């Protein structure tokens, strides 16, 4: 399987990575090289094989739904590129 | 005592506990060595003030009889680990300025046991790479010089783009280079497809990837969550055993961390391997494997047999599917894990005309080439219409890979011996321009272990014709790291401790 330029642009948008028009053909070539590399997996017979969900057999632990380590809003927003009054600031999203 | 930084971690521990040297002296010696070695680019951040404070606190605890098992031992920490108030960027531009407000579980356990933080170590961006060349902070030069190079030539290359010098491997290239160059007694590292074992093999050091679930992943930037494991790199098998005991253990904050007692791994170092069944998988004899890798492997087999182990030929038929399946599973998980880097909560923000273009611009500029490529391939294999064909199929193949190992272990195999890498270290810039797959082939012997969640250790077995280190890998049963330490110690004793390069930098 290989991807065309329109698909490359769609993937880039899904991944939220800006892609310049002049970069797209190179990215297409690289993605197709990787897809060619994984192509051999199509020859493996996987009928009746369960897909792996956990590499070590274990039961996922449950805990009480309570706050365990509330660090405080100062700490949570300390590294934000834009923060005001304990809120993350982003460009306007509603008119 | 001079050159205390060339002691092994075990020797330094014994000397500190016996008060023959102080933690402060030991730390100062390392800080001085780091300063002289800056051109290697192994550390991205040095924390001398913190190191000296921690060393003084260690000396106080030693004086009062409260010394921990790692008291006063200076370590380097891979930049993937959160260190409270200290730079942590996974060597990515997208995490510019990020100083975590919390400490990773693994590093908190090292400090609990008395270790000293020297600084943060260079790595491939988000651990995606096999040569440390994808770091935003530039490549790390291996302390091993290429064949026929003299010190002056090496120093000259360090001043420029480092081309021609050797890579330390990756992604834990800074960790491996710092350990090999005596810039720390040991280092933390992580391994998703070989990122502990391959750099250890390239630098003549020892590194163990423990069983999935053995160490907590909490506070370690996630690459591929079902494959990532923390582990140490150090100069000897014993040093690895000492470090792993402190790093391992159950953590309620990582739901995949296993609630099992942590054994005294050091006690397994030197334990007899008489009667152990060692499997030799025929599928690891790949086309085009250099003769020196073949003979290294044979040498390893002979050493283990001489130590009383029983050598058994085995088959792991799905071996060759592991690398392509890995390049579906790992990017898929990465594309999901790295969605959080969007310019809102931390790190870099590149403005755009609206919020969507802010995300897109931030991620385009913040992520390097290799990371963008893997996110995109991961996004593709998870996208509607392709999920079953790629991702689900790869996870089924993963079941088959794991079954191979389970069958071998059910037949009484205790551990498996393979080469760690298909070649010795290559040059900086040598494999960057070509097909990405060429670089990925470095991990052909290590990636199966991550896919099956097993423990694996890389230990030096000898030198190549060019005088560069070559490593052997021992793969074990789940949670049987002790057998790995016993077998690896036999290899280390038989091969003789590798002579690490003198400082030429």
- Distance between CA B443 and CA B454 in Å, rounded? 15
Q: List the helix and strand counts (H, then E) for chain A.
A: 3, 2
Go through chain B and tell me how many residues it has: 505
Helix (H, G, I), strand (E, B) or coil at B231: strand
The answer on pLDDT for B76 being more than 60 is yes
Q: Are strands B206-209 and B229-234 parallel, antiparallel or unpaired?
A: antiparallel
Backbone dihedral angles phi then psi of residue B408, each to the nearest 5 degrees: -60, -45
% residues pLDDT > 70 (chain B): 99
Instruction: Give the model confidence (pLDDT) of B448-480 as tens digits.
Output: 999 999 999 999 999 999 999 999 999 999 999
Cβ A11–B256 below 8 Å, yes or no?
Answer: no
Residues of chain B above pLDDT 90, percent:
96
Nearest Cα to Cα of residue B442 among B455, B454, B432, B457: B432
**Edge-to-edge strand ranges of the sheet holding B229-234:** B43-46, B116-121, B74-78, B186-191, B229-234, B206-209, B456-463, B469-476, B415-419, B277-281, B310-314
Instruction: Check pLDDT > 90 for residue B394.
Output: yes
Minimal Cα–Cα distance from A76 to chain B, Å? Answer: 8
Q: What is the CATH number of the domain that holds B170?
A: 3.90.1300.10
Residue B391, SS3 per DSSP: helix
Contacts of B480 in chain A (CB under 8 A): none
B452 to chain A: closest CA residue: A55
Q: Which helix (H) or strand (E) holds B314?
A: strand B310-314
Residue B443 clears pLDDT 70, i.e. is over it? yes
Closest-CA residue in chain B for A37?
B324
Task: Decide if pLDDT at B1 tops 70.
Answer: no
User: How many domains does one find in chain B?
Assistant: 1
- Alpha carbon of B219: minimum distance to chain A alpha carbons (Å): 14
- Which of B318, B402, B437 has its CB closest to that of A33? B437
Tell me, what DSSP letter sits at residue B505? -
Which H or E run contains B266?
none
The pairing of beta strand B43-46 with beta strand A83-84: unpaired
Contact yes or no for B292/B428 (Cβ under 8 A): no
Taking contacts as CB-CB distances below 8 angstroms, the residues of chain A near B355 are 90-93
Global pTM? 0.97
Q: What's the gap in Å between the CA of B357 and the closest CA on chain A?
A: 8
The alpha-carbon radius of gyration of chain B (Å, integer) is 21
Query: Which of B86, B350, B396, B441 to mutate to test binding with chain A, by most A CBs within 10 Å of its CB?
Result: B396
In this complex, the residue of B359, B389, B394 whose CB is nearest that of residue A16 is B359
Residue B297 reports pLDDT greater than 60: yes
Nearest Cα residue to B375 out of A80, A39, A30, A42: A30
Of A19, A34, A53, the CB nearest to B377: A34
**Cβ(B370)–Cβ(B134) below 8 Å:** yes
CA pair distance B88, B120, nearest whole angstrom: 8
Please give the Cα distance from B190 to B210 (Å, whole number).
10
Report pLDDT for B219: 98
Look at residue B89 and tell me if it is in a domain: yes
Q: Given pLDDT bands bounded at 50, 70 and 90, which one contains residue B434? A: low
Mean pLDDT of all residues in B189-198: 98
| B393 inside domain | no
Average pLDDT over residues B178-192: 98
Distances (CA, A) of B479 to B12, B94, B288, B450: 28, 35, 33, 13
Task: Nearest by CB to B376, from A15, A49, A58: name it.
Answer: A15
- The residue of B379, B391, B452 whose CB has the most chain A CBs within 10 angstroms, and thus the best one to mutate to test that interface, is B379
Q: What residues of chain A score a pLDDT lower than 50?
A: none
- Cβ separation A38–B226 shorter than 8 A: no
Q: What mean pLDDT comes out for the span B225-246?
A: 98
SS3 assignment for B457-477:
EEEEEEECCCCCEEEEEEEEC
Burial of B176-204, coded b for 16+ CB within 10 Å and e otherwise, reads bbbbbbbbbbbbbbbbbbbbbbbbbbbbb
Domain residue ranges of chain A, discontinuous segments joined by +: 5-42
Secondary structure of B133-202 in HEC code, one letter for each residue:
CCCCCCCCCCCCCCCCCCHHHHHHHHHCCCCCCECCCCCCHHHHHHHHCCCCCEEEEEECCCCCHHHHHH
Q: Which residues of B touch A30 (CB under 8 A)?
A: 373, 436
CB atoms within 10 A of CB A33: 17
Cβ separation B452–A18 shorter than 8 A? no
| Residues of B recognised as catalytic | 78, 171, 195
With left for phi above 0 and alpha for psi between -120 and 50, is residue B249 left, alpha or beta? Answer: left
Considering only A67-81, B157-171, B185-199, B384-398, which range has the smallest mean pLDDT?
A: A67-81
Q: Left if phi > 0, otherwise alpha if psi is -120 to 50, otherwise beta: which for B452?
A: alpha
Domain that holds residue B151: 4-276
Residues of B in contact with A58 (CB under 8 A): 213, 256, 258
Determine the pLDDT at residue B245: 98
**Closest Cα of chain B to A10: distance in Å?**
9
> Which residues from chain A sit within 8 angstroms of residue B226, using beta carbons?
54-55
Radius of gyration of chain A (CA): 22
Give CA separation, B225 vs A79, B29, B335, in Å: 24, 37, 11
Alpha-carbon distance A68 to nearest alpha carbon in chain B (angstroms) = 10
- B28 vs B84: CA distance, rounded Å: 22
Contact between B346 and A80 using a beta-carbon 8 Å cutoff = yes
Q: Which chain A residues are within 8 Å of B84, Cβ to Cβ?
A: none
Query: Among all residues of chain B, which has the CA nearest to that of A77?
Result: B345
How close A2 comes to chain B (CA, Å)?
A: 11
CB B117, CB B27: distance < 8 Å: no
Question: B292: number of CA atoms within 13 Å, CB side?
Answer: 15
Instruction: Give the pLDDT confidence of B46-59 residue by residue, as tens digits.
Output: 999 999 999 999 99
Residue B437 pLDDT class (50, 70, 90 cuts)? confident
Q: Are B248 and B282 in contact (CB under 8 A)?
A: no
Mean model confidence pLDDT for chain B: 96
DSSP symbol at B263: P
Stretch B413-440: mean pLDDT, rounded?
A: 90
Distance, in Å, from the CA atom of B413 to the CA atom of B398, rounded to the nearest integer, reads 20
In a domain, B379, yes or no: no
Taking alpha carbons only, the member of B343, B277, B342 closest to residue B305 is: B277
Contacting residues of B for A13, CB less than 8 Å apart: 360
Query: Nearest 5°: CA angle at A48, between A46 and A49?
Result: 60
CB pairs under 8 A between A and B: 162
Q: Spell out which residues of chain B touch residue A16, defining contact as CB-CB under 8 Å.
A: 339, 342, 356, 359-360, 363
The answer to whether B394 contacts A41, with C-beta atoms less than 8 Å apart, is yes
Q: What is the per-residue pLDDT across B145-163, written as a single tens digit (0 to 9) for each?
A: 999 999 999 999 999 999 9
Q: Which two tokens stand for residue B96?
A: 């510019």
Would you tell me how many other CB atoms lie within 10 Å of the CB of residue A42? 11
pLDDT for B170: 95
Which of A8, A15, A36 has the highest number of chain B CBs within 10 A, making it the mutation to test binding with B?
Answer: A15
């Amino acid at each position: 399987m290989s991807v065309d330029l329109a698909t490359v642009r769609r993937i880039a948008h899904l991944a939220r990575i800006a892609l310049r028009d002049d970069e797209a053909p190179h990215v297409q070539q690289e993605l197709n090289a990787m897809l060619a590399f994984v192509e051999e997996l199509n020859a493996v017979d996987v009928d009746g094989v369960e897909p792996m969900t956990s590499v070590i057999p274990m039961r996922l632990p449950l805990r009480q739904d309570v706050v365990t380590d509330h660090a405080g809003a100062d700490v949570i927003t300390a590294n934000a590129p834009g923060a005001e009054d304990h809120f993350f600031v982003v460009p306007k999203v509603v008119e | 005592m001079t050159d205390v930084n060339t002691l092994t971690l075990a020797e330094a521990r014994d000397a500190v506990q016996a008060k023959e040297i102080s933690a402060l002296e030991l730390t100062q010696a390392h800080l001085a060595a780091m300063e002289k070695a800056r051109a290697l680019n192994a550390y991205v951040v040095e924390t001398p003030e913190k190191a000296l404070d921690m060393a003084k606190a260690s000396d106080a605890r030693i004086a009062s009889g409260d010394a921990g098992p790692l008291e006063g031992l200076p370590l380097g920490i891979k930049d993937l680990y959160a260190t409270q108030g200290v730079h942590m960027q996974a060597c990515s531009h997208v995490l510019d300025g990020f100083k975590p407000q919390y400490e990773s579980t693994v590093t908190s356990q090292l400090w609990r046991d008395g270790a000293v933080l020297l600084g943060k170590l260079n790595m491939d961006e988000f651990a995606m790479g096999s040569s440390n060349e994808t770091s935003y902070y530039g490549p790390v030069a291996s302390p091993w010089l290429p064949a026929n190079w003299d010190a002056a030539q090496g120093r000259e290359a360090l001043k420029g783009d480092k081309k021609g010098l050797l890579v330390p491997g990756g992604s834990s290239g800074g960790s491996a280079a710092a350990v090999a160059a005596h810039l720390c007694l040991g280092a933390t590292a992580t391994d998703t497809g070989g990122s502990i074992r391959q750099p250890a093999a390239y630098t003549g050091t020892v590194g163990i990837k423990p069983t999935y679930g053995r160490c907590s992943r909490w506070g370690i930037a996630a690459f591929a969550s079902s494959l990532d494991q923390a582990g140490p790199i150090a100069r000897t098998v014993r040093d690895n055993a000492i470090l792993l005991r402190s790093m391992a253990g159950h953590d309620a904050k990582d739901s995949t961390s296993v609630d099992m007692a942590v054994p005294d791994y050091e006690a397994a170092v030197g334990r007899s391997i008489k009667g152990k069944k060692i499997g030799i998988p025929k599928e690891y004899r790949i086309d085009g494997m250099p003769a020196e890798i073949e003979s290294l492997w044979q040498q390893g087999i002979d050493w283990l047999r001489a130590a009383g182990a029983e050598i058994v030929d085995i088959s792991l038929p799905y071996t060759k599917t592991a690398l392509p399946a890995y390049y579906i599973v790992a990017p898929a998980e990465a594309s999901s894990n790295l969605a959080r880097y969007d310019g809102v909560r931390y790190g870099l923000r590149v403005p755009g005309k609206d919020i969507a273009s802010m995300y897109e611009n931030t991620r385009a500029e913040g992520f390097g080439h290799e990371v963008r490529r893997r996110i995109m391939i991961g996004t593709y294999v998870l996208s509607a219409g392709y999920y079953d064909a790629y991702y689900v199929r790869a996870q089924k193949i993963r079941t088959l890979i794991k079954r191979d190992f389970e069958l071998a272990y059910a037949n009484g195999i205790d551990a498996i011996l393979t080469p760690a890498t298909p070649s010795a270290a290559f040059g900086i810039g040598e494999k960057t321009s070509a097909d990405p797959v060429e670089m990925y082939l470095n991990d052909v012997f290590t990636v199966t272990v991550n896919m099956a969640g097993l423990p694996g250790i890389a230990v030096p077995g000898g030198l190549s014709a060019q005088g560069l280190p070559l490593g052997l890998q021992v793969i074990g049963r789940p949670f049987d790291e002790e057998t790995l330490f016993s077998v690896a110690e036999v290899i280390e004793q038989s091969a003789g401790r590798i002579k690490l390069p003198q400082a030429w930098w």
